[in-house]
Structure 1
């Protein structure tokens, strides 16, 4: 990974072909998951009349989607009250469509600005913010799939099925850290 650098109001780097391909594939996969979740939204007459969209009232079953779309209201794990369940469902239904729009929107910015064959990436500050959000979503998704936690070593044994994917997680972390650093200059 070539480091990001600041050139006036732009953030610039050069991506190798393989880096661009991996990043684009991962961003596309996360975006596809989010778009599939958006299609689960209930269709009702009120939405058609008012234009106010609602989303599913229940959390996703998929652990990756649950990590990307957390509850908007934390429930008491021991015994959630009926009012808490109703509040959590209502908040999810109201806010999840907006969150899905934001997450798929930042993925779209990455896909529009990351050249498929590699090469120069030149971002304005708004696009760089979108990259940070999309990179974070991809890292959350991959970290959930790999079961990354604070106790995970930097390298896994070769016989661990996650060992080939952990370096990608670390690379994404580096890309994100370098981008934050360049934006702060």
Structure 2
């Protein structure tokens, strides 16, 4: 993939890059996988009688069990140990039930922008600033899911031993990081 660059045109700012067919396939696969996780989560929402009566959409009130989904859809409130609201699991449940559908919708919309703008067989990618924002969101989600799966933390080395099966996935993680950083640089005035 080429580094992102800015192009001013009569229709406004455009951000452009190029990727080969393999890169396009990997990116489409990763975004598709994250979208699949989110769709599965949205479809697992239990029926709610009040929501059916009012037309209000509700989501799951329980946190996701899948660590990747839990990273993508974290708790809304974290209490300090010993604080008066330390045992307020009901607060997270209520907030999750109210806001999770909108959060999932936004993440899916960002993924859709990536899927619609990455040429299936590779080639030139041309984005508006709004599409670039969606790309940044989708890249963040993919990196969070992949990083969780790989157990990436502050102590993870840049390169793993040759016999570590996570090595190729870590390289993809670094590629996504570079892509996101390059896009952010191109967006900056």
Give the shorter-chain TM-score range. over 0.9
Does the 8 Å contact 1:42/1:56 carry over to 2? yes
Task: Name the structure 1 match of 2:4.
Answer: 4
| Equivalent-residue separation in structure 2 for 1:183 and 1:173 (angstroms) | 15
Secondary structure in 2 matching 1:56 = coil
Task: Name the structure 2 match of 1:17.
Answer: 21
Structure 1 position 48 matched with structure 2 position 52: yes
Listed one character per residue, the Cα deviations across residues 80-134 of structure 1 (whole Å, up to 9, x for unaligned) are: 9686111111001101111000001100110011111001111111100000000
Normalising by structure 2, we get a TM-score of: 0.92
Secondary structure in 2 matching 1:156 = coil
Structure 1 position 155 matched with structure 2 position 159: yes
| Equivalent-residue separation in structure 1 for 2:159 and 2:179 (angstroms) | 18
| Equivalent-residue separation in structure 1 for 2:120 and 2:81 (angstroms) | 45
| Equivalent-residue separation in structure 2 for 1:37 and 1:80 (angstroms) | 31
| Equivalent-residue separation in structure 1 for 2:55 and 2:43 (angstroms) | 16
Normalising by structure 1, we get a TM-score of: 0.94
Secondary structure in 2 matching 1:11 = strand
Task: Name the structure 1 match of 2:112.
Answer: 108
Secondary structure in 2 matching 1:149 = coil
Runs of 4+ in 1 over 3 A off after TM superposition: 75-83
Gap regions ≥5 residues in structure 2: none
| Equivalent-residue separation in structure 1 for 2:83 and 2:163 (angstroms) | 41
Secondary structure in 1 matching 2:100 = helix
Q: Residues 156 and 82 from structure 1, CA distance in 2 versus in 1: closer, same or farther, beyond 3 angstroms?
A: closer
Structure 1 position 89 matched with structure 2 position 89: no
Structure 1 position 134 matched with structure 2 position 138: yes
Listed one character per residue, the Cα deviations across residues 114-161 of structure 1 (whole Å, up to 9, x for unaligned) are: 111001111111100000000000000100011111111111001112
Task: Name the structure 2 match of 1:125.
Answer: 129
Gap regions ≥5 residues in structure 1: none
How many equivalent residue pairs?
185
